[in-house]
Structure 1
């Protein structure tokens, strides 16, 4: 990077932008502190992790590996067996309603949320302008009201998307 003529010549300029401060050099020794020894940098060889992993696998008894695999397979079977019977009431309701069956539902809900939040922001700004109060007094009601209005309008948008499908 080139320095300006004043900096190269060692001159001093009036403007702060002309002050050149050299950063730390790459070869600069670490600052010395009493009692602290510098640590050498960690250098890893290529393939070091793979060889360590292979060595660990070679040292592990075959019986232990077979026992771990059997336990994992048993856990997977247990989870598959529990899944159909362990449907929560909320999941049942969502399956009955049919949430998320079409891509348009998500888009309509997102646009509904955006419209509701924007309408709340406009209403809060209007109320702030009419009262003459600082906007800082309207920040929390703006966010909470925006989330509530956005959620309500998202539900309306989702419902309209469901009606449009039928």
Structure 2
């Protein structure tokens, strides 16, 4: 019998209804995303993020290519160093340009950016490893892996790393999402 009260009650509810628990999370994500797709300011911010990301993509691939082809490093080690180089580049430009109105503590935003970046890097490395194992060349596989993980990177940074300072979860007191002024 599963407990209905006490410290394990929430856990037992999730164990009994995992599909409903997962569906609620997806519904919350959809509710949070849907209204944002119609805002011009959000699309412009995504365009700035994509521009910074494209430059970071070039920095990443350039460093990766040099390390793999000229230095002869293993693709996973090269991916790690090129990731760190590109993440530093992207943080600087996203803070200065993309999310300039969401300025907060350099240390807090930097740590959050690093956490999002490491999470996205883990996904990138998993995709890269699968693509290389499937027979794609290391450079082509990295180029594709970066593209595939970019949406998660944007959402993580917009909704957490650079969220509007002073608002819990980037929300107003009424629960509306906060975005940069138009």
TM-score (norm 2): 0.31
TM-score (norm 1): 0.34
Larger Rg over CA atoms? 1
Which structure carries more helix by proportion?
A: 2
